[in-house]
């Protein structure tokens, strides 16, 4: 079983994907700058971290879809 957790703030959306009851996430990350033209997505798996600039003004609903597409 995998569990996807979201933590929504006013201008960010943090996430983590966990396997069962494992304390360490399989993937974790955040979209920062929601509601601005300079939103940025970062995510990490293990020791690998990637960053991606996002265009347009994003809301939480579109951000969830971007995360699910990862």
Alpha helices in the chain (DSSP H): 60-69
- Quickly state the pLDDT bin for 10 (edges 50, 70, 90): very high
- Quickly state the pLDDT bin for 8 (edges 50, 70, 90): very high
pLDDT score at 16: 96
How many Å separate Cα 66 from the centre of its chain? 8
**Tokens coding 67:** 């995360």
Instruction: Note whether 2 and 9 are within 8 A (CB).
Output: no
Order across the sheet with 2-8: list the strands. Answer: 2-8, 12-19, 27-32, 40-45, 48-53
- Quickly state the pLDDT bin for 64 (edges 50, 70, 90): very high
List, for residues 14-48, the tens digit of each pLDDT value.
999 999 887 889 999 999 999 999 999 999 998 99
Q: What is the CA radius of gyration of the chain?
A: 12
């Amino acid at each position: 079983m995998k569990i996807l957790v979201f933590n929504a703030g006013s201008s960010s959306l943090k996430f983590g994907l966990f396997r069962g009851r494992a304390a360490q996430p399989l993937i974790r990350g955040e979209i920062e700058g929601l509601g601005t033209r300079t939103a940025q997505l970062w995510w990490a798996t293990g020791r690998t971290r990637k960053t991606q600039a996002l265009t347009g003004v994003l809301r939480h609903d579109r951000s969830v879809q971007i995360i699910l597409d990862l």
